[in-house]
Amino acid sequence: MPHWFDLGDVAVVPLIEDDRLLIEPGEFFPGLEPDLADWYTREPWFDRAAGKLVFAIQSFLVCSADEVLVVDACVGAGKDRRRAEFDQLPDRWMRQFLATGLRPAEVDAVVFTHLHADHVGAATVRREPVFPHAPHLVVEEEFRYWSSEAGAAAMRRTGDYLADSVLPIEQAGQLSFVAPDAAVGKHAELVPAAGHTPGNVCVRVRGSAGTLLLAGDTMHHGVQIRHPELSTRYCVDPGKAAEVRSRILEGERGSVLLPTHFPAPSAGRVRGGFEFAADLIQTGQFRWREWRRAS
């Protein structure tokens, strides 16, 4: 069911490309044997029939009355990808974007938390930027890493998504480097979180009725709340990624976290396990112009 998060004068709107991507536990977490007595091996986190972890692929709009940010851009449609679940997807992402009543020219900025294939793809179509007036913000260290020999080697498992989804933005003059703690627009700020990748960031969103941390890929699944020391095989620096995750889980205790890949409704608070934030969730299709008039 469509839903969004109400922060008063700010709305955070998920654009969900895949609400149930099933992953073998050992693919992301080598050697993991899920504890079937624990909360993270129940729905919506775990598909017991398949014996697989449940992930979401999504990105977010951060909307106020006079500003629209896109945070990450999923896999994107019609892209050649080596992972079967990402290859030549239909354009569900853009359909969801347009359903809000927004148009690409109304986006003020795009924020890339990091440059993995499932966070950048919908920002271009046929190697052209989708959002014609928006600067696309990324930490310089992140871009330099993926443009290096080490980054090229890391992309062998996915295919060179930089070429079709990031470099066209740079060539159009729309890629902008920002500090990992930069303010982004009127209601958001970046939070340094390097580890999963060299320039990884979170995005803190502040509204009149609450604050929410878009935690990106600092954690991928509930098992990492139970075991913060557990990093994925895809983390560039697993030790640092674990330190960042522990820092967030301790420092943001009681705060609303919205990790990108947690299953819907995704946002919640760490209270023993992970308690979904029912107090912020609004169900139904978010429509920007109607919401703006009402707010």
pLDDT digits (tens, 9 = 90+) for 276-291: 999 999 999 999 999 9
DSSP 8-state class, residue 92: H
The pLDDT of residue 272 is above 90: no
Whole-Å CA distances, 89 to 82, 85, 86, 218, 246? 12, 8, 6, 25, 35
| Predicted local distance difference test score (pLDDT) of residue 139 | 98
| Predicted local distance difference test score (pLDDT) of residue 35 | 97
Find, among 207, 106, 126, 123, the residue nearest to 166 by Cα. Answer: 123
How far does Cα 35 stand from its chain's mean position? 26
Mean pLDDT of 138-158: 95
Q: What is the bridge-based pairing of β-strands 281-283 and 273-276?
A: unpaired
Distance CA 231, CA 243 (A): 10
Distance CA 7, CA 279 (A): 10
Give the count of beta carbons closer than 10 Å to the beta carbon of residue 152: 12
Q: 180: pLDDT confidence band, cut at 50, 70 and 90?
A: very high
Find, among 37, 40, 29, the residue nearest to 273 by Cα. Answer: 40
Domain span including residue 248: 3-294
Tokens 């992402």 -> residue: 93
pLDDT tens digits, one per residue of 187-230: 999 999 999 999 999 999 999 999 999 999 999 999 999 999 99
Distance CA 202, CA 213 (A): 7
Tokens coding 270: 């760490």
Q: 63: pLDDT confidence band, cut at 50, 70 and 90?
A: very high
Calculated CA dihedral for residues 138, 88, 235, 129, nearest 10 degrees? 0
Q: How many domains does the chain have?
A: 1
Mean pLDDT of 73-99: 97
| Predicted local distance difference test score (pLDDT) of residue 253 | 83
| Contacts of 150 by beta carbon, 8 Å cutoff, 6+ apart | none
Backbone angles phi, psi at 117, to 5 degrees: -55, -35
| Predicted local distance difference test score (pLDDT) of residue 243 | 98
Backbone angles phi, psi at 189, to 5 degrees: -145, 150
The mean pLDDT value of the chain amounts to 97
CA quadruple 155, 156, 157, 162: dihedral sign: positive
Q: 157: pLDDT confidence band, cut at 50, 70 and 90?
A: confident
Specify the CATH number for the domain of residue 264: 3.60.15.10
The pLDDT of residue 254 is above 90: no
Query: What pTM value is reported for the model?
Result: 0.97
Which residues, in sequence order, are bridge partners of residue 12?
5, 62
Tokens coding 14: 């998920």
pLDDT tens digits, one per residue of 122-131: 999 999 999 9
Contact 110, 122 (CB under 8 A): no
Contact 43, 53 (CB under 8 A): no
Distance CA 134, CA 120 (A): 14
